[in-house]
Structure formats: C-alpha cells, structure tokens
C-alpha cells in the first residue's frame, strides 16, 4: 500500500489529527494484514516532529523496530528524512 501524505497535509505536514487518521485507518490495518506500507512524501516540503510522531510512533511501539523493513518512506527531502530518523531512533530507544 502506498499512502500519499500530501493529499492529507499539503506542503507542510503538521496536522497531527491527519497523522493519527492515516495511522489508525491506513497504516496499522495494512501492516496487520502483512502488507508493505510506503509513506510517500512527494510534494511535502516539511513536517513537524509532532506530526511524524503521531504518524509512526505507535506503529514502532506496537510492531517493534523490525517493522521498518515493511514501513518505507519515499520521496522524503533532507529535512523530512532527518525528522523521520529522529522519531524512529527515539522510539527505539524508549
């Protein structure tokens, strides 16, 4: 499954409610079915740490760090890559 983040957030991904909706209604059900999930950040030029946390932290908590083999991040610019890295590292440490 590929999820186009821009469709939910526009250029600046900061709406945590949108992140929560994507996680609950799309990411987790697909992962539970054993599918691979691709989060496509095309056209999104920035995101907040709070948005990314609301998007994926619970996924990492529920499925563990190994889920990063099936949860993939596509078309992320440098800023978004770094924010995703901060959140994934943080969740695996905690």
Partner 1 sequence: MKIHLPNSAFLGNIDSFIKSYDPSNGTILEITANKKWISVHPVILTMIAGLAKLKKIKEIKCETLEAKSKYYFERMGLFKFLNLDSGITIQEHESAGRFIPITNIKTSEELNNFIKDMIPLLHLNPEEAEPFRYIVSELVRNVLEHSLSERGAFVCAQYYKKSNIIRIGIVDIGVGVKRTIGKSHSVNSDMQALQLACTPGITGTTSREGGTDYNAGGGLFFIKSIAKVNRDFFMIYSGEAMYKLLKRNANTKRIRLSSDPFLDRHSKGENYPYWQGTVVGIDISLDSNQLFSTLLDLIRETYTKSVRIRKKAKYKKPKFI
The dihedral over CA atoms of 59, 68, 35, 43, expressed in degrees to the nearest 10, equals 90
Residues of span 18-57 touching partner 1 by CB under 8 A: 20, 23, 45-46, 48-50, 53-54, 57
Residue 70 interacts with partner 1 (CB under 8 A): yes or no: no
SS3 content of the chain, % helix, strand, coil (to 5): 60, 15, 25
- Residue range at the interface with partner 1 (CB under 8 A); choices 14-22, 35-43, 66-74: 14-22
Taking phi first (over 0 means left), then psi (-120 to 50 degrees means alpha), and beta for anything else, what does residue 32 get? alpha
Among 32, 43, 74, 82, binds partner 1 (CB under 8 A): 82
Which residues of this chain interact with partner 1, rule CB under 8 A? 10, 12, 14-17, 20, 23, 45-46, 48-50, 53-54, 57-58, 61, 78-79, 82-83, 85-87, 89-91, 93-94
């Amino acid at each position: 499954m590929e999820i186009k983040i821009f469709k939910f957030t526009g250029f600046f991904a900061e709406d945590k409610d949108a992140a929560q909706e994507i996680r609950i209604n799309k990411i987790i059900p697909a992962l539970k079915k054993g599918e691979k999930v691709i989060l496509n950040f095309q056209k999104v030029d920035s995101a907040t740490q709070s948005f990314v946390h609301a998007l994926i932290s619970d996924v990492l908590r529920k499925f563990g760090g190994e889920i990063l083999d099936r949860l993939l991040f596509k078309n992320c610019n440098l800023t978004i890559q770094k924010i995703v890295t901060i959140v994934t590292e943080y969740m695996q440490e905690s």
